[in-house]
Amino acid sequence: MQSVKTKGNITNADIIRNPVSAGKIGDTTNLAKMVFEETNYEFGIIKEGEIIHHSYRFTNTGKIPLLISGARSTCGCTIPDYPRDPVQPGESGVIKVKFNSHGKLGTQKKPIYITANTYPSLNMISIEGEVIKEKK
């Protein structure tokens, strides 16, 4: 991970801090903000075994560099890939998601949780659609 360029004596730890402390909301005006072009992708109807790839584009509309510390889904069939380097204010990034429909039949809705130095620190995007059995 590259070092974050900031003004003053701000460290990476300061940027990653959680603004919620002891049940009180801190000052959220100087945090990073993730604004997605879309938060849900509907892939329609696919045959079991197909793999779907989708990219979620976002912009950091906050005042400090955006640091994503993790991205996960509720199932091993959905794998997110996110930028490891800071996304500077005003810049954009992409979270790529791969959904493997093998063994998944019926309606599927898979959330992807992104943890970052935003408020709230957990951001969610999702992928959904229907998986049908291929007729033989």
Nearest to 61 by CA among 86, 87, 95: 87
Of the chain, the end-to-end C-alpha distance in Å amounts to: 48
Would you kindly state where each structural domain of the chain is located, as residue ranges? 12-132
pTM for the predicted model, two decimal places: 0.79
Please name the fold of domain 12-132: Immunoglobulin-like (2.60.40)
Cβ contacts of 33 within 8 Å, gap of 6 or more: 60, 61, 62, 66, 118
Q: Tell me the pLDDT of the chain (136 aa) as tens digits.
A: 555 555 555 555 555 554 444 455 566 778 999 999 999 999 999 999 999 999 999 999 999 999 999 999 999 999 999 999 999 999 999 999 999 999 999 999 999 999 999 999 999 999 999 999 987 6
Task: Determine the pLDDT at residue 19.
Answer: 45
